[in-house]
Amino acid sequence: MIKNKRKLMLYILDSLAICTSITLALILKFGVNIPSSYFILFEKMIFGIILLKLFTYNKFDLYNTLWEYASIEELIQIVQSTVLANAIGIIYLYVKHIHISLSVLVLVLGIDIALIGGIRFSYRIFRRLKNNRSITIQGAEKSILVVGAGATADMITVQIKNNPSIYGKLIGYIDDDEKLYNTVIKGTKVLGNRYDIYSIVKRYNINEIILAIPTVSPKDKALILEECSKTNCKVKTVPGIQEIVDGQVSMSEVRDVEIEDLLGRDPINLNSFEISKELKDKVVLVTGGGGSIGSELCRQIANFHPKKLIIVDIYENNAYDIQMELNKKYNEKLDLSVIIASVRDKKNINRIFREFSPQIVFHAAAHKHVPLMETSPQEAIKNNSFGTRNVAEAADKYNVEKFILISTDKAVNPTNVMGASKKMCEMIAQSLNEKSKTKFVGVRFGNVLGSNGSVIPLFKKQILCGGPVTVTHKDIIRYFMTIPEASQLVLQSAAYAHGGEIFVLDMGEPVRILDLAENLVKLSGFKPYEEIEIEFTGLRPGEKLYEELLVDEEMITNETDNEKIFIGKSDTIDYSILTKRLDQLQKIIDKEDNVLLKEKIKELVPTYKNNEEVNNVFKPVLSKEITM
């Protein structure tokens, strides 16, 4: 109804404009002494001319365009339609044997363009004035600084200026190209480079910064965000170039800056040919396939066209989510089986291996939460150690080509049951490798950002609730990488595997958890310790201040073709001896004596120590911190 009223109004205004343009053209040509023949002509022909012009404008969609968003493209549309409409009008007059002065025709054309265009662009001007007045009245204006002055910034600018009541007011641009300094883009000036961000924010009272450079390198992005973080602005960013499918960016895609953006990690260089050769047309099984790492492994594996992908997980909700995601993406192009099963159930695990005959196994199923496993150590051993034993022995029995264990940096000099249980997993894999045709390897890495149980989602929830953000210790440090990064390197490690290796992923520099907490508070637009409090709660059971990726007796025995993957070699134990010790451990678990259980764990894992022993001698040394 509103749309029809708007079209009717435009028809009426255009009809008046056509009459006005002819009248003004005659006045400009003849002044007040207009020949009477023109009045007779005007009276007889005006109705037909109006109909012809309105018909032409309609064919050019001048009544369907959203003029509140009118730009140069719409102006071209108006000029083209008006020129054609006047040409048709001249033909109409010629057919009627009516001759009009050329100068009058030119004047009519010019005035037509001005009036027809003016009617439409005045709507946009009126709307912008109305929105600006609305913002001022409501006091809801945001002052925005856009970093970048390229094509992406241009797209963002159009949407901000067309919807100031939603997005705020664009104040200016930042760009490192000196040639752009002080130039004006769509009415807004380039105010300086990245090092001017702090002063510009102060001078213009900016409260939001949008990073609009999708092609920027991770390291440069981290450096720019470091400059942004010196302000108290809310910081947002556009998707990376690999996430932009059609080259178009909308404000709906602008997201909050994440910690991942600050780490400045270089993109992974994978040997896709080697990985494809390893996975294509193979039957691949992933345990814990619904978890953070497991589900990402499944996504990555699916890209390499396996013959069949089998997801095994005990938690049905996660398994269902990844099943729906993969089915939607690949439709019937991926042969996918999802099985709800526990790695503790040896009989069922053997049935799965017997039925599907997997060729490659990624074992990601594990309990990973350190404090919870300290209070339930028997669960950590049953699920992690004995679960791994079940899957690994099934892999050996059913002639799997490769078994890749997902391990953790907490297995190095473990100070908690979870870490010790994963060290046992490494021992099982390496010892089995000595007697099996299957190639058993482990891949060891630290914390992954955003995974289940990760500190980052916890911090975000705490900030959303207004704080406090809780950090266990001011000196605690961890290694971090993203979930896709870890998963891609696991697949690359699988391609390198010859059997018996512990692949160690380059985690970059260690990061202080307190820095992460402060940075997340700042990125959320708050001042740490003032608007959002940060509290120290003390180390939790089994938690140590730092994590290691190799112990003293382990050495980097070799480098791989990938600079982010190294090989560490540990001493192996005869598998028959290891199984006897594991059987003894099983009997202690059945007794439900946690004290005795931890003592037996120390016999199996000599490097297992109490966390106080390690933390008391630790002096944190960081070669690089994220400081903001």
| Highest-pLDDT range among 199-203, 338-342, 414-418, 583-587 | 338-342
3-state helix, strand, coil in the chain (%, to 5): 50, 15, 35
pLDDT at 477: 81
pLDDT digits (tens, 9 = 90+) for 90-111: 887 777 777 777 887 788 888 8
pLDDT at 480: 75
Reported confidence tier of residue 578, pLDDT bands at 50, 70, 90 = very high
**Cα separation of 174 and 196, whole Å?**
8
Reported confidence tier of residue 470, pLDDT bands at 50, 70, 90 = very high
Q: Which residue has the higher pLDDT, 429 or 530?
A: 429
Count of CB atoms situated within 10 Å of the CB of 309? 26
Of 429, 442, 484, 424, nearest to 293 by C-alpha is 484
pLDDT reading at 224 higher than 60? yes
Of 251, 73, 257, 253, nearest to 156 by C-alpha is 251
Assigned superfamily of 272-615: NAD(P)-binding Rossmann-like Domain (3.40.50.720)
pLDDT digits (tens, 9 = 90+) for 246-279: 445 556 567 777 666 666 666 566 677 888 889 9
Reported confidence tier of residue 8, pLDDT bands at 50, 70, 90 = confident
Q: Using H for helix, E for strand and C for coil, what is the string for 183-208?
A: CEECCEEEEECHHHHHHHHHHHCCCE
Residue 214, preceding peptide bond in cis (omega within 30° of 0) = no
Q: State the architecture of 141-257 in CATH terms.
A: 3-Layer(aba) Sandwich (3.40)
pLDDT at 139: 35
Task: For residue 54, give both structure tokens.
Answer: 């309105």
User: Domains of the chain: which residue ranges?
Assistant: 2-135, 141-257, 272-615
pLDDT reading at 66 higher than 60? no
Q: Which residues contact 156 (CB under 8 A, 6 or more apart)?
A: 146, 210, 212, 238, 249, 251, 254
pLDDT at 549: 58
Q: Which residue in the list 410, 439, 522, 564 is annotated as catalytic?
A: 410
Instruction: Say whether 272-615 and 141-257 share the same fold.
Output: yes
pLDDT at 271: 75
Residue 410 among the catalytic residues: yes
pLDDT at 626: 41
Q: Which residues contact 89 (CB under 8 A, 6 or more apart)?
A: 49, 52, 53
pLDDT digits (tens, 9 = 90+) for 415-425: 899 999 999 99
Reported confidence tier of residue 391, pLDDT bands at 50, 70, 90 = very high
The DSSP H or E segment spanning 392 is helix 386-397
pLDDT digits (tens, 9 = 90+) for 106-126: 888 888 888 877 777 676 666
Reported confidence tier of residue 73, pLDDT bands at 50, 70, 90 = low
pLDDT at 244: 44
pLDDT reading at 137 higher than 50? no
pLDDT digits (tens, 9 = 90+) for 304-355: 999 999 999 999 999 999 999 999 999 888 999 999 999 999 999 999 999 9
pLDDT at 479: 73
pLDDT digits (tens, 9 = 90+) for 203-219: 888 989 988 888 788 78
pLDDT at 1: 45
User: Which percentage of the chain shows pLDDT scores above 70?
Assistant: 82
Q: What is the DSSP string of 97-139?
A: T----HHHHHHHHHHHHHHHHHHHHHHHHHHHHHHHHHHHHHT
For the chain, the average pLDDT equals 81
Among 73-82, 541-550, 590-599, where is mean pLDDT lowest? 541-550
pLDDT reading at 622 higher than 60? no
Overall average pLDDT of the 388-415 stretch: 94
pLDDT at 617: 56
pLDDT at 15: 84
Task: Name the packing angle between helices 594-604 and 417-433 (round to 10°).
Answer: 40
Reported confidence tier of residue 134, pLDDT bands at 50, 70, 90 = very low
